[in-house]
Structure 1
Amino acid sequence: MPTVTIGGNTYTTYSTVTDADIYLGGSTTADAWRAADADTKARGLVSATRWIDEQSWVDAYSTFDLRLANPAFINACIELAALLVDDADFRTTFGQVQQKRIKAGSVEIENFRGTTVQTDTAFPSNVMLLIGQYLAGSEPAFGGAITFGTCRETTLDEGYGFNRGIF
């Protein structure tokens, strides 16, 4: 079971700092991770593990050990940790809709980002692609399909629900 040590305390995580370093060594978006010290990386992994563990998962992945056996959860934890090391406030700011309009006198700027996967899911899209299909309950997931004619019955052979998705 992977662990990290911070200030003499040991924490269970989905990945060690060494394995995360190897995984993120090939990433073009992990400069902050590569520049961080070992304690900061370990804190990122602990925070990412907690974020993942706070969610509701389908029965096949309902325990930490079951999730740990799936490499997708390990990779998702590392991806989240890299985002958290890059921006410690990422979890609280992720998915927030930008301010739509700013006006000062005759000068006005209008921006808009509508509802997207980033505002409707438990995780960022790169992580949802890895583990979104395993979310349980009413958690929104990435992807899904339904098609029907006038009878409102699906014409898909498989039961592609919004948690399973098509990947």
Structure 2
Amino acid sequence: MLLRQEDRKKRLPGLLENLSAIANKQFSDDDVLSIEQIDEHQIQLNSSDFDFNFLNISFPVDKSTDLLKRLLTIKEKLSLTNYFSLSNFSDIAVFNIKTDFVIDNFEDIIKLDNDTFSLYDHNYKNGLWIDLFQEYWYIDNKTQFIWIYELRVFGTEWIKLINEKL
């Protein structure tokens, strides 16, 4: 616990500054769950049924506008206060914030973390994560090793909204 608190003390100010710049709104320590609340958040996530109730959609990086269109279908849900975290900071920082900024800024958020970001509603019934990785795809009659965004949506409500636009 002490190591996490020290890590948080060192890394959180930079994260707050960078995420505030990306979102074009100011975030503070008050927007971040305590270490104890983060542990409880992880327990709630682990006890959810997300492992069986999700939709995966992958997009080549050069087709990121297709991902943007999917995010716009849940704009109303993302405008609410949700839990938001970046993979490489999830042990020290889970935000309790309005998450609509991810719609237009998902690429910059991924660059900030160099990995995945996730968000979940307060009832742990719906959520999503976006990841960036390389994979072989067959495009234009040839196999290519390309960068891919993967959108994973959890929960029947958000899945239904996105599925209606597929």
User: Which category of TM-score, normalised to the shorter sequence, fits these structures?
Assistant: 0.3 to 0.5
TM-score for both structures, normalised by structure 1: 0.33
TM-score for both structures, normalised by structure 2: 0.33
Counting strand residues as a fraction of each chain, which structure ranks higher?
A: 2
